[in-house]
Chains A and B, each alone.
Chain A
Amino acid sequence: MSKIVDKILTVASVQLPVDEELKIKKHRIMPFDSDAKLLEKHGRRISIVTGIHGDELEGQYVCFELSRRISEHPEYLKGVVDIYPAMNPFGIDNITRGIPAFDLDMNRIFPGNHNGDMNEHIAAEIIKDIEGTSLCLDIHASNIFLTEVPQIRINTLHKDKLVPIAMKSNVDFIWVHGASTVLESTLAYSLNSRGINTLVVEMGVGMRITKEYGDQLVDGIFSLMKDMEIWSGEVSEVRRPILSNDESGNDVYYLNAPFSGIFLKEKNHGCIVKKGDIIGRIVDPLSGRLLCEITAPGDGWLFTIREYPVVEDGSLMGRILKHTEVQA
């Protein structure tokens, strides 16, 4: 049996006021008797990050399953795998998307500041720790409102480097979106702008784990690791994703609620829809009235559907990739 180095390391820590320390931890797995810096220099380090939003738990299973499969066949491990399952431990513990006590979205404070406030300091330490990795996957789970097919979202600024990598990651969809100044404070933007290839994965729904999607992504991670010569074992063949170059924002129909009410979905995410198909209904349980039917504005692929039933004027209920893009 091959030996591996398997250790839990602290990436950042701060003292809390009342008898507690906040620690960001990672799980490092690498071949025994090897030099992490040397492997890193040869491009053999991958980082799997999740839990920036405390209510997005899909990545928890991925972290577990990835290390479980590696430990089954340590002889195939040829590089460094760093797993960061909880970037926002407060949020996960509190079932809260942001950082509790600060009401702050952690994915809006990167690259952080070593001399800044507690959270900025932690963000800077995280960036410092990930630096040197050849590929980072930042796994999200949409939010508690929407379910997504497994997909990778790429800022158009980084598409040339990232799309070829994303194609090998076994997701169903790659969505290249336009640049936005606000997104410059995300972990992915900060890392990509430092030359660290970082893919943002969105899949499933908040507060839940979809094992099927987790297994699919873990297969993709092994495929990527094989490509990076971090893994020498057999890997599953990856699926060919639909690619949308949507820099203009015109490839997708957004279904926003025209009324406040209770949304009852009629279609599941991942299905092909025709113009006029009923995606769901908004009803008023108080009066017993049907407020409206939500229909597909055109043919396409329903890759997002609302899971949380309460909607208000403007709430997103679904996204449809236009038919022409699906065909392409």
Chain B
Amino acid sequence: MKSEILYKIDGLYRDDFRVRGYRFGKGEKSVCIMGSMRGNEFQQIYVCSQLIQKLKHLEEKGRIKSRILVIPCGNPYSVNVKKRFWTIDNTDINRMFPGYSLGETTQRIAAGIFENIKDYKYGIQFASFYMPGDFVPQVRVMKTGSEDVELAKKFGLPYVVLHNPRPFDTATLNYNWQIWETAAFSLYTTSTSAIDKTSAKQAVDAVLNFLSKQGIIEYKGYEGYISRVVENSDLVNVRTACAGFFEKLVSAGEKVEKGRLLAKIADPYTAEIRQEIISPIDGIVAFSHNEIMAYQNTAVYKLIVEDDVI
């Protein structure tokens, strides 16, 4: 294992901003694994740390066949001050790719990171969603025309979710990796700002599973699931009709039947129930809201239709 600084900015009153990578193996640039790019993505850093431990062990036994790069965090400045986006101007590094080395700070950071990671055959990013909530572990693949669904299944996670890029997606790492001919996958584990060890372990197993199947490492581990492929547009959103305190009765990954009570919205002052949120279908909870408050019209659950398999 070799630790190296991939990109650096001199700080004025803070220590220098550093993006650190951990290299394993030699030869062909086979896979790059990216962790957190936002200041609240603790789970994404944690998963990388667990993966680094495993890869270090495999390397010592000579079981890594080509080059692997793991970047646990692309934005330590924001993590250290507990701010989600860039500290001074609140821009999102994951909306700046492929970056611009002569541009503004986060464009430069994106360019500095991308320069180091754009030539890998596979790109894996531990991502987070813009809405607060918990996920059933899944691989999300953006439909750019270059996507490879069969490859995505090799992670052995329960679901592969396909989605069409929206305008802002064109500046994400995943999209630009694909444009630069890296097969890119976003892995979602259960949590973001809290560490969930069970889903972290599942994510580590999934990555090792994938690397093993692609001949990048020699590893015999848990085979995982036969992934179900679903279209993001086919997920059924269950929305709040009222705002209030959110009492979650069902969690991500659970199977629910039509008519099941999923959650309640209560008046924060009187505890009167404003809404009982009922499942409209038989399905699996792909996403569940995880905050105390829920706003009106919020998609507090996203359900996979029971028989919705492509």
Contacts and interface: CB of A to CB of B under 8 A. Distances in A.
Interface of A: 14-19, 97-98, 102-104, 108, 115-118, 120-121, 143, 145, 181-185, 254, 256, 259-262, 284, 286, 310, 312-316
Contacts of A183: 167
Given A19-B269, A182-B171, A314-B108, A261 B296 contact: no
Nearest to B166: A185
A312 B239 CA distance: 42
A19 B88 CA distance: 33
Contacts of A313: 9-10, 105, 108
Contacts of A181: 167, 170-171
Interface centre among B84, B107, B239 (most CB of A within 10 A): B239
A182 B9 contact: no
B243 A17 contact: yes
B49 interface: no
- Range of interface residues on B (Cβ < 8 Å): 35 or more
B274 to A, nearest CB: 9
B74 interface: no
A2 B88 CA distance: 51
Contacts of B168: 108, 182, 185
Given A17-B244, A260-B12, A313-B10, A118 B170 contact: no
13 contacts: A14-B297, A16-B296, A17-B268, A103-B90, A118-B298, A183-B167, A185-B168, A260-B12, A284-B12, A286-B13, A312-B12, A312-B88, A314-B107
A184 B167 contact: yes
A121 B297 contact: yes
Contacts of B108: 313-314
Given A16-B243, A98-B90, A182-B95, A259 B297 contact: no
Given A16-B295, A118-B296, A262 B103 contact: no
Interface string B8-36: 01111100000000000000000000000
Main secondary structure on chain B at its contact with chain A?
loop
A254 B102 contact: yes
Nearest to B109: A314
5 A-B pairs with least C-beta separation: A314-B105, A184-B167, A314-B108, A17-B243, A260-B12
B273 interface: no
B162 interface: no
Nearest to A109: B168
A259 B299 contact: no
A310 B88 contact: yes
B203 interface: no
Nearest to B295: A118
Given A108-B168, A310-B88, 11 more contacts: A14-B295, A17-B245, A98-B90, A115-B297, A117-B295, A117-B298, A185-B168, A254-B103, A313-B105, A313-B108, A314-B103
Contact of A310 (B12, B298, B299): B12
B246 to A, nearest CB: 9
Contacts of B102: 254, 256
A182 B293 contact: no
Given A185-B168, A256-B103, A103 B243 contact: no
B309 interface: no
B167 A185 contact: yes
B85 interface: yes
A259 B17 CA distance: 13
B269 A14 contact: no
B12 A182 contact: no
Question: Max chain B CB contacts within 10 Å: which of A14, A115, A184, A314?
Answer: A314
A253 to B, nearest CB: 11
Interface string B157-177: 000000000111011000000
Contacts of B11: 260, 312
A117 B132 CA distance: 13
Contacts of B244: 17
B130 A261 contact: no
B12 A15 contact: no
Nearest to B8: A313
Contacts of A116: 297
A133 to B, nearest CB: 23
A15 B243 contact: yes
B268 A315 contact: no
A316 B104 contact: yes
Nearest to B237: A115
Residue from B95, B105, B239, B298 whose CB has the most chain A CB atoms within 10 Å: B105
Contacts of B269: 18-19
B104 A314 contact: yes
Contacts of A256: 102-104
